[in-house]
Structure 1
């Protein structure tokens, strides 16, 4: 039948679209500009505002300050440059016109925030984080320019008993000639809150390591501080015990203190910068003084780190990736033969189970029809099964090689990475639309193509079966079946040859039922004979294809927003018109086909950019209201670590819109009333890591868990190793794990 010829040509279209993905992906892997917004961002926990102070306008040599002013809700706080025992400092990423150069944050004196036996350093109430900006002599905004545009992307971790990672995109217009002094009082107060450097006084600003403590001597402090109790804030983390007060006293005008070293110390500096300030209650502003302590050793040996939360390790590695240094080197490749054998077996079983995933059903049903057609021809039956298997296995090898190659080039990608590109999602939606129209009988390729081309299917049935296997891999790649996760994750630590063997085993598992059916005569005898029912079945299979298109449009809506999804629907309507018009006969085909071709070209030119353009990453997903109502918060690097450090268990759902298994679990087990009640009873923090778009931080976190695809479900517990659940969740499994927290 001509539908088989179409499958071959349709898969060819898929690979053309995949080549376009190569261009799109290179653009997406690069840095993205911050999405401009207003000058103020308000969340349930803080109000953040981008402010400026330019008393003499914006010009070379003139003072210019920018800053992020954060007003916290009562009992909430954000963090200093050294957050203490947990937390993350606020980060600012600027986009400034040429000639403007932003410096580092001039951090105000923090406050010590006690959390049980831990202590953090941060801010409550209202705080301004000022940043000095240098205006170069080459600054030339243009003769007609009246203002300059400043953009900022800021991220912060705001905590009370729980911690919420937040971010904002800010835009501010600064007048070039006029004074910008609206927030001058706030900048003056921030200037007074910045630690003032103390003059170096030889041995009078030093520290001596004494066993498990540090003896500190500081001279040159103002007379107003003498006799008062001081707070010492180390700018370097993991040196001193943050929560311990130690002992302190005054020897005339010299302040001395003995402060315990951190139990899990990781730094042994020769010079330790510290900030000293009078100890006060609450968040009352006070002046501070900065000293660089010369440390006399020897330091005791650095203690081996206790179990560190994988979330923290993932955050560190994600930061390295985002900084341009690439992902950290994989673990040594000396995996035991047993581990490698287990990975092969897991991939084989995972591929076998992939046949039960809904995303694979439409293609497999087409394959069953093909088997029925050859049921009475044993040789054709065997050749078809072998060719289909070869198409599946080689496609998995090609996809695996591409993924390994991108990783070697420094890209943070994992299983299903191609579905993170809107261009690929749109191409697949177009492919399945055309397949559905063909199955429904809207057109036949045999009536559209020259006879020499239309006869290819009859002359090359092996290639037809091979390309059907390729199509099966294209639709199966977004899915992760049980046993697949650990095997796919292990490929990151294996040599290339062994990693590709795991991908080949996965493909063999997917093709195994049809390979066995083609080689087992009893199966052929059990298949129904060809007849009129096959045409009815073929038309019926158009509806699963259209259902797949609906899913792909929804996936693209998560990536490109509602405008992107609407643009794709318009393009699919134009594609349907083009396919129908080219199937007509005579003059109608010539005229309508020409009109439809021109119309399709215009639609691509007009709406194509909306399809492939990523929507604002800060935009809320469609189900954000329901998600928030169930207590879910967005995942961010370090968020799980901060929550675990406060003594609270954490459950992280690594998911993606294009992952069918993820969506099934989200709507069933993770929405189960008993599961949600158990999570609430145990005060479990719920974090959702959305991998729909490419996110190196999530990729790094998955790698730390030995995974490179979704879904992944993890419970983090204070003082205990994380628990990774199976890919297809059951209510009993989740409730049993919660009961053990």
Structure 2
């Protein structure tokens, strides 16, 4: 296309728009083979006495790896932090989020998977004096034990410089989420009574929302209870009671037992005095449990016997999956408009074999460079603490609106309303015509801008794996993905037989070009629908008004003489006015309730604790990780998930249907996808009591879903 250079650059800039809002202060990151640890800070009002300041160690675990709570349970070690602070700054204790129960064979541990943050309050006293540079240097030495089947002791040293008078508020959401995930103090006349080899726990005064429900029980003091032992709970009026077995290897006899009770995303902490006489202790336990000692001994004895081979095999499989995924990406619905552009481009080179090859090479380079740039941006933002996945740019209404304007211009050009050369000085237009290689390169950029929201088969696992790799290996995955997408066009450009299949240039090309404008208009309609999911009906209507004004500007610029000057001036003024009047509605997120209200009544909103509750109650769960901007998701929804026989099978199997909507950025969904080894949508998962989750294919079929249901 004659104006591909400007439009493709426009689209690439749109994809990079979110980057401007993610700049943050200095940070320190330690990356190992199993975790990525980062020191974060939150000081929205600077370092001043009496102002809220938080520090925190964020640990992002690779799938199936975990670290431990303050009481690790049967085995493990809690994460420890040691601070070195300037005079006048004092660090408090870790505000531990509520852990998860992590069964390991016959053992029961307490810890964390996915991404978690350990917040620590920082007190600024009047004695604090910032350095000459106006900042405070925060140093942290942290140690943690990360385990899968084996356990690896790890540590890291972190340095972070905080401005004394500036605001550091970028990580406010992460800290708020971590604090919300922690237990709330409960004023209660709780008691713990020793009865033989059991503890009888009594906790009155819990909120009414918790009454009558089963609660999770976590004692903060380790080596007191038997974590995997059989325990019972009951409600006596408004008092929660439990009978918990003591550990046969008990090593502590506290007079006060702090406990955490949790249910449905809520948690409470209470300190219960202990009455009665503790039975005699068992033989003194080692500092580290025998099971953990054996795991550490095995890890130290053979640290490299299996990991390199497995990692190498996984990396090669991910590369192959990315290559195949890129090939299949050409068949995904969101790429159809780009296919139209490429077909028009091929017909122009039907009689020019050399130009056809050069164009294919340039297009390939454009695709690969764009995938590399988009992948680097995603990895950089994730390294900065953002919970992002593949297609993240379309989670921004501003980016969706920009792409809608871009494709409107492309459609108007293909329809013959204007030629780009007529809007440029003759010298610029001549230069553009002399550089078809640049046009082909930027068509590749445009292809990636359109294709990036899609996740094809094989892509999901490769992209999820890439998010856990070091930067260089992760970039190799993105390069393989780009090569796979460009490979058909590259092969077509270099195979002589393909040129013989192309029709000869002629008058038919103009009709064909105008026909190809309709896929572009269809893309605009889809983008407006996506925007409506993000910004509501007012946002979609405002964008339509803006596109009408933009189209009028384009039309006015095609006129001649004084008419062009007058009408173009009025049209530009109208575009500016409509943009000023409607811009806020376009980028303003719609209330969550609006989006939720549009869902099928059979489907419930997804939440991680909701999945756990349903599975714990013995009910199978089907989760649809989806997004409005994911065309494959919408096709699967219409052609498979809405089919009567599939819904009947779900009802017969007593499935709970949950929908995780990733249209707007949601760190909880991003973390859940990462735990499944995925980095984009669509993802379809079946959870069953006592079994591992089953992840179905990205392009969903009726038979595949029904067979998976039948295996319950």
How far off is 1:575 after superposition? 0.6
Aligned position for 1:647:
618
How far off is 1:598 after superposition? 1.5
How far off is 1:260 after superposition? 2.2
Counterparts of 1:666-677 in structure 2, within 5 Å, are 666-677=637-648
Counterpart contact for 1:652–1:714, Cα < 8 Å:
yes
Aligned position for 2:14:
17
Matched, 1:6 2:3: yes
Counterpart contact for 2:12–2:445, Cα < 8 Å:
no
Question: Partners of 1:722 and 1:482 in 2: how far apart?
Answer: 18
How far off is 1:10 after superposition? 1.1
Aligned position for 2:406:
431
Question: Partners of 2:216 and 2:682 in 1: how far apart?
Answer: 41
Counterpart contact for 1:266–1:302, Cα < 8 Å:
no
Aligned position for 1:108:
none
How far off is 1:462 after superposition? 0.6
Aligned position for 2:144:
none
User: Of 179, 185, 189, which aligns to 1:196?
Assistant: 189
**Which portions of structure 1, spanning 4 or more consecutive aligned residues, are displaced by more than 6 angstroms?**
237-243, 265-269, 293-296, 299-305
Counterpart contact for 1:333–1:495, Cα < 8 Å:
no
Question: Partners of 2:509 and 2:343 in 1: how far apart?
Answer: 10
Secondary structure in 2 matching 1:721? coil
Aligned position for 2:257:
272
Deviations 1:459-513 (A, max 9, x none): 1111000000000000000111111111111001212111111111111111111
Residues 723 and 453 (structure 1 numbering): CA distance in 2 closer, same or farther, change over 3 Å?
A: same
Matched, 1:461 2:415: no
Question: Partners of 1:738 and 1:407 in 2: how far apart?
Answer: 35
Counterparts of 1:335-414 in structure 2, within 5 Å, are 336-414=311-389
Question: Partners of 1:268 and 1:569 in 2: how far apart?
Answer: 68
Deviates more, 1:595-604 or 1:570-579: 595-604
Aligned position for 1:725:
696
How far off is 1:620 after superposition? 3.2
Residues 217 and 244 (structure 1 numbering): CA distance in 2 closer, same or farther, change over 3 Å?
A: closer
Question: Partners of 2:618 and 2:357 in 1: how far apart?
Answer: 60
How far off is 1:609 after superposition? 1.3
Residues 338 and 235 (structure 1 numbering): CA distance in 2 closer, same or farther, change over 3 Å?
A: closer
Structure 1 vs Structure 2 CA RMSD:
3.7
Question: Partners of 2:509 and 2:252 in 1: how far apart?
Answer: 76
User: Of 545, 549, 565, which aligns to 1:570?
Assistant: 545
Question: Partners of 1:266 and 1:364 in 2: how far apart?
Answer: 68
Residues 462 and 632 (structure 1 numbering): CA distance in 2 closer, same or farther, change over 3 Å?
A: same
Question: Partners of 1:586 and 1:378 in 2: how far apart?
Answer: 42
Question: Partners of 2:408 and 2:619 in 1: how far apart?
Answer: 48
Secondary structure in 1 matching 2:486? helix
Q: How high is the TM-score relative to the length of structure 2?
A: 0.65
Question: Partners of 1:453 and 1:562 in 2: how far apart?
Answer: 41
Q: How high is the TM-score relative to the length of structure 1?
A: 0.63
Aligned position for 1:186:
none
Number of residue equivalences: 506
Question: Partners of 1:546 and 1:266 in 2: how far apart?
Answer: 71
How far off is 1:616 after superposition? 1.3
Secondary structure in 1 matching 2:693? strand
Secondary structure in 2 matching 1:651? strand
Residues 233 and 477 (structure 1 numbering): CA distance in 2 closer, same or farther, change over 3 Å?
A: closer
Question: Partners of 1:498 and 1:729 in 2: how far apart?
Answer: 30
Aligned position for 2:529:
554
Aligned position for 1:523:
498
Counterpart contact for 1:387–1:462, Cα < 8 Å:
yes
Deviations 1:119-151 (A, max 9, x none): xxxxxxxxxxxxxxxxxxxxxxxxxxxxxxxxx
Deviations 1:187-230 (A, max 9, x none): xxxxxx963367xxxxxx7759x8xx535699xx9xxxxxxxxx
Counterparts of 1:295-694 in structure 2, within 5 Å, are 336-621=311-596, 623-624=598-599, 627-628=600-601, 631-694=602-665
How far off is 1:24 after superposition? 5.7
Secondary structure in 2 matching 1:647? coil
Query: Which stretches in structure 1 are left out of the alignment for 5+ residues?
Result: 28-152, 154-166, 168-192, 199-204, 222-230, 248-255, 277-287, 306-331
Counterparts of 1:37-186 in structure 2, within 5 Å, are none
Question: Partners of 1:667 and 1:242 in 2: how far apart?
Answer: 47
Counterpart contact for 2:460–2:679, Cα < 8 Å:
yes
Aligned position for 2:245:
260
How far off is 1:338 after superposition? 1.6
Question: Partners of 1:533 and 1:424 in 2: how far apart?
Answer: 35
Secondary structure in 1 matching 2:387? coil
Counterpart contact for 1:216–1:257, Cα < 8 Å:
yes
Secondary structure in 2 matching 1:545? helix
Aligned position for 2:679:
708
Counterpart contact for 2:467–2:474, Cα < 8 Å:
yes
Residues 242 and 462 (structure 1 numbering): CA distance in 2 closer, same or farther, change over 3 Å?
A: same
Counterpart contact for 2:257–2:271, Cα < 8 Å:
no
How far off is 1:591 after superposition? 1.3
Query: Which stretches in structure 2 are left out of the alignment for 5+ residues?
Result: 25-172, 174-179, 181-185, 205-213, 235-240, 262-269, 293-306
Residues 710 and 217 (structure 1 numbering): CA distance in 2 closer, same or farther, change over 3 Å?
A: closer
Secondary structure in 2 matching 1:5? coil
Secondary structure in 2 matching 1:411? coil
Residues 347 and 273 (structure 1 numbering): CA distance in 2 closer, same or farther, change over 3 Å?
A: same
Counterpart contact for 1:274–1:292, Cα < 8 Å:
no
Deviations 1:624-680 (A, max 9, x none): 2xx11xx21000121111110001111110000000010000011101111111111
Residues 641 and 442 (structure 1 numbering): CA distance in 2 closer, same or farther, change over 3 Å?
A: same
Secondary structure in 1 matching 2:664? coil
Counterpart contact for 1:246–1:257, Cα < 8 Å:
yes
Question: Partners of 1:428 and 1:448 in 2: how far apart?
Answer: 21
Counterpart contact for 2:219–2:260, Cα < 8 Å:
no
Matched, 1:291 2:276: no
How far off is 1:235 after superposition? 6.5
Deviates more, 1:333-342 or 1:418-427: 333-342
